[in-house]
Amino acid sequence: MHIQIASVGKLKEKYLTLGIAEYAKRLGPYVKLTLTEVPDEKAPETMSPAEELQVREREGERLLAQLKPDAHVIALALDGELWSSEDLADQLDKLATYGRSHVAFVIGGSNGLAPSVLKRAQQKLSFGRMTLPHQLMRLVLVEQVYRAVKINRGEPYHK
């Protein structure tokens, strides 16, 4: 299976980079993992709703350009479905079983995802109603993908 995590912005914090690298290494024997970063749009702190939408759309165009046509896209969004780790494992297992071997998770920037990206997605996933920094979300997501792989393989992993 090919798992892609496409996200807006460059990862800057070393602790996040090291954490993601660790889980990417652990995933190596099981899946092909691709981490794709697109530049975030420079924007002022305060924006009108129209300006915010423009920022999301420009970032969205960059994200969409990185997605393969055959990818099953799962957008991370506050209004997405709430899955347990077991639910994520089940979703990935079903996708692999039914020939959807390329799964792309998409993480927006600080203003969220563009409507065009949400429209491209087959599913929306939420990690809860709390707002997390999008850079931290990458680490949480890659850990959960690793956990899902371990669940599907019936291998132990700490709880």
- Tell whether residue 76 is among the known ligand binding residues: yes
- Tell whether residue 128 is among the known ligand binding residues: yes
- Tell whether residue 153 is among the known ligand binding residues: no
Sheet with 2-8: strands ordered across: 32-38, 2-8, 102-107, 72-82, 123-126
- Tell whether residue 33 is among the known ligand binding residues: no
- Tell whether residue 125 is among the known ligand binding residues: no
Largest CA distance in the chain: 49
- Tell whether residue 105 is among the known ligand binding residues: no
- Tell whether residue 127 is among the known ligand binding residues: yes
| 25 burial level (CB within 10 Å; 0-12, 13-18, 19+) | exposed
- Tell whether residue 34 is among the known ligand binding residues: no
Q: Annotated binding site for S-adenosyl-L-methionine: which residue ranges?
A: 76, 108, 127-132
Q: Annotated binding site: which residue ranges?
A: 76, 108, 127-132
